[in-house]
């Protein structure tokens, strides 16, 4: 029997972190040729992940330009994917999550009548402008996909409400698979500044912020809040690896450069980031991935957004929505810094997003789809 050609398509840092373990799992399976096509919607931040996880793309569209717009990303991906599909002749295309690469990758697959597997399917906020453009990308990919790999039961239920019932699997999130390979108790940072921080006697808080819907006033409010938190708490260090987006770089420079106890650093390789998170006191972020990783590591998270498509850890009590208003963020962060009981209530390790076996379930489901094996048992046992 001919091997199945399964092509994973991704382009940004978070997609790469969450797809790398799957590319590797598929490569280990008999009967599958695991192919990897990167759009390079991100260049440096993508390459860093590929290096950490030892993934070599078979095809690289190399589309990134400075200050790229949604239209340029989408059109360049769509055109590039045509060439990639012709060259690679995949039997199935896997896309991840909700980026412009995800949407264009799925659309290109559809145009070539190639089945699509959607990894991290079923997340919703029901607000088409928040997160923007991700919420719409998710919905559009849901209309195109043939297989849906939902991290949680709640994600599956979201799809069910949209009458998507066939080909849906609850697998857990592959980010937990990735995290299991990177976090080590004896880890020594390659970034010297991170080895110099006192994680025992000081409160090292990890910060990230990059979302498009936060550009402008919300990002200004977030940065001012971070500055105030650092100024008012002598025992706190804020470590902020700043995303390479020029919009974000400019905001961080303007509002945070020179603030006491604020460490603005370059984006970290994924293994450095995960081990920093494991050693930190808490996380302040508008990132999707960090909302999934930090709970698994027992770190309280304040989400710098108005809503979240990841309510599971909020329900579990380790994540809280802090919003995008300076005073609200400062109030919530100050409580976690000064009130030990409030902190302890949130600082518990929970794993609503996965058990580290998501990639194995996805590989099983793909083989099942092609009549070559049993369907996997769902994550969470439901
Ligand atoms: C993208 C995704 C977002 C995801 C985020 C993860 C879309 C529309 N947005 O947003 O869903 O949460 O990635 O980080 O798909 N840049 C570099 N080097 C890099 C990466 C980015 O210089 O390695 C700069 C470029 O100037 C680029 C800009 O950042 O034009 C923005 O990148 P882009 O992918 O358009 O948007 P993100 O905000 O990163
Ligand atoms: N990350 C990283 N280095 C950094 C910042 C983030 O490796 O400097 C990782 C983080 O641990 C998570 C992922 O990148 O796995 C999240 O990416 P990002 O916040 O850019 O995107 P989102 O998850 O919001 O789409």
Q: What is the pLDDT of residues 282-311, one digit of tens each?
A: 999 999 999 999 999 999 999 999 999 999
Return the ligand 1 atom nearest residue 68 CA: 30
* Catalytic residue chosen out of the listed positions 120, 271, 272, 292: 120
- 259/347 Cα distance (integer angstroms): 27
- To test the ligand 2 pocket, which listed residue (20, 130, 270, 279) has its Cβ within 8 A of the most ligand atoms? 270
Atom of ligand 1 nearest to the CA of 246: 26
pLDDT over 60 (residue 382): no
Which residue has 């991704």 as its token pair? Answer: 10
Buried b (16+ CB within 10 A) or exposed e, 331-365: ebbeebbeeeeebeebbeeebbbbbbbbbbbbbbb
Q: Any catalytic annotation for residue 213? A: no
**Residue-wise pLDDT tens digits, 96-140:** 999 999 999 999 999 999 999 999 999 999 999 999 999 999 999
Is residue 42 lining ligand 1, measured as CB closer than 6 Å?
yes
The per-residue pLDDT for range 16-56, each reduced to its tens digit, is: 999 999 999 999 999 999 999 999 999 999 999 999 999 99
Q: Examine the residue annotation and report whether 146 is marked as an active-site residue of this protein.
A: no
CA angle, corner 375, sides to 369 and 378, nearest 5? Answer: 125
d(CA 213, CA 288): 13
pLDDT at position 380: 87
3-state DSSP assignment of residue 2: coil
Percent of the chain topping pLDDT 90: 99
pLDDT of amino acid 209: 98
| Ligand 1 mean position, distance from CA 44 (Å) | 11
Q: Is 212 a catalytic residue?
A: yes
Question: Is residue 51 flagged as an active site residue?
Answer: no
């Amino acid at each position: 029997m001919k091997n199945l050609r399964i092509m994973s398509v991704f382009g940004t840092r978070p997609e790469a972190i969450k797809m790398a373990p799957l590319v590797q799992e598929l490569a280990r399976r008999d009967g599958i040729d695991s192919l990897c096509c990167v759009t390079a919607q991100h260049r440096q931040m993508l390459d860093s992940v590929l290096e950490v996880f030892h993934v070599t793309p078979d095809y690289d569209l190399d589309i990134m330009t400075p200050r790229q717009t949604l239209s340029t990303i989408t059109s360049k991906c769509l055109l590039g994917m045509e060439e990639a599909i012709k060259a690679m002749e995949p039997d199935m295309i896997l896309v991840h999550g909700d980026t412009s690469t995800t949407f264009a990758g799925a659309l290109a697959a559809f145009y070539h009548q190639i089945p699509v597997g959607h990894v991290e399917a079923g997340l919703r906020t029901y607000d088409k402008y928040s997160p923007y453009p991700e919420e719409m990308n998710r919905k559009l990919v849901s209309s195109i996909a043939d297989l849906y790999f939902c991290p949680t039961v709640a994600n599956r239920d979201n799809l069910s409400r949209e009458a998507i019932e066939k080909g849906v699997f609850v697998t857990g999130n592959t980010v937990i698979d990735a995290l299991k390979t990177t976090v080590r108790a004896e880890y020594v940072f390659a970034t010297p500044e991170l080895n110099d921080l006192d994680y025992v006697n000081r409160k090292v808080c990890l910060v990230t912020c990059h979302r498009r819907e936060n550009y402008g006033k919300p990002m200004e409010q977030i940065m001012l809040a971070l500055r105030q938190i650092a100024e008012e708490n002598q025992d706190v260090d804020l470590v902020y690896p700043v995303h390479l987006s020029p919009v974000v770089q400019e905001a961080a420079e303007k509002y945070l450069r020179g603030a006491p106890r604020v460490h603005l650093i370059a984006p970290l390789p994924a293994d450095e980031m995960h081990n920093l998170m494991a050693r930190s006191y808490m996380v302040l972020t508008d990132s999707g991935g960090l909302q999934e990783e930090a709970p698994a590591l027992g770190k309280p998270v304040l989400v710098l957004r108005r809503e979240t498509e990841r309510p599971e850890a909020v329900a579990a009590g380790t994540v809280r929505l802090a919003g995008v208003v300076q005073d609200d963020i400062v109030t919530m962060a100050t409580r976690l810094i000064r009130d030990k009981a409030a902190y302890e209530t949130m600082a518990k390790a929970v794993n609503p997003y996965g058990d580290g076996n998501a990639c194995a379930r996805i590989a099983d489901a793909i083989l099942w789809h092609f009549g070559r094996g049993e369907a996997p048992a769902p994550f969470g046992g439901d």
